[in-house]
Amino acid sequence: QAKYLAQIILVGAQVVGRAFVRALRQEFAASRAAADARGRSERPQSAAASRITGISLQEAQQILNVSSLNPEEIQKNYDHLFKVNDKSVGGSFYLQSKVVRAKERLDEELRIQAKDEEEKGWKAET
C-alpha cells in the first residue's frame, strides 16, 4: 500500500513539474516576443532612448498625461505633477521621480524628432 502511494505521489509530482516547466517556457517566449515587438515598433534612436532611460515613450506619455509631443503641454503637466508629488506637501518621492524620468524621456524624443527634421532639411537642400 505504501509503495503504491509513494509511486502515485512521485508520478503526480513529475506531471506537475513538467507542466510548470512548460508554462514557464511559454511565458518566457511570450515575454520575449512582446519585447521584440515593442523594439520593432519604435525607431532605432527612440528604442535606444527607451532602453537608456528605462521608460518607453508610451509610458512616459501616460505618466505625464499627454497624447502628443507638445512641449508646452508636457512642461505644464510636468510642473503640476512634480509640484503635487513633492514630499514636503505629502506627495510621493517615487511618483515624483517617475514624473522626472517621463519628462526626460519625452525631452529626449523631442530632441530626436528635431534632429530628424534637421536631417530631412539637409537632404531636401542637396
Summarised one tens digit per residue, pLDDT across range 18-58 is 999 999 898 888 877 776 665 555 566 677 666 777 788 88
The answer to whether 66 and 73 have CB atoms below 8 angstroms apart is yes
The answer to whether 98 and 77 have CB atoms below 8 angstroms apart is no
Q: Return the pLDDT at 9.
A: 93
* Domains in the chain: boundaries: 1-41, 43-125
Q: Return the pLDDT at 44.
A: 65
Q: What is the pTM of this model?
A: 0.59
Selection from 107, 74, 113, 80 nearest residue 95 by Cα: 80
Instruction: For residues 81 and 90, give the distance between their C-alpha atoms in angstroms, rounded to a whole number.
Output: 13
The answer to whether 83 and 100 have CB atoms below 8 angstroms apart is no
pLDDT tens digits for range 62-116: 999 999 899 999 999 999 999 999 989 999 999 999 999 999 999 988 998 888 8
Q: Return the pLDDT at 37.
A: 63
Q: Return the pLDDT at 110.
A: 92
Q: Return the pLDDT at 31.
A: 78
Instruction: For residues 29 and 10, give the distance between their C-alpha atoms in angstroms, rounded to a whole number.
Output: 29
Homologous superfamily of the 43-125 domain (CATH): DnaJ domain (1.10.287.110)
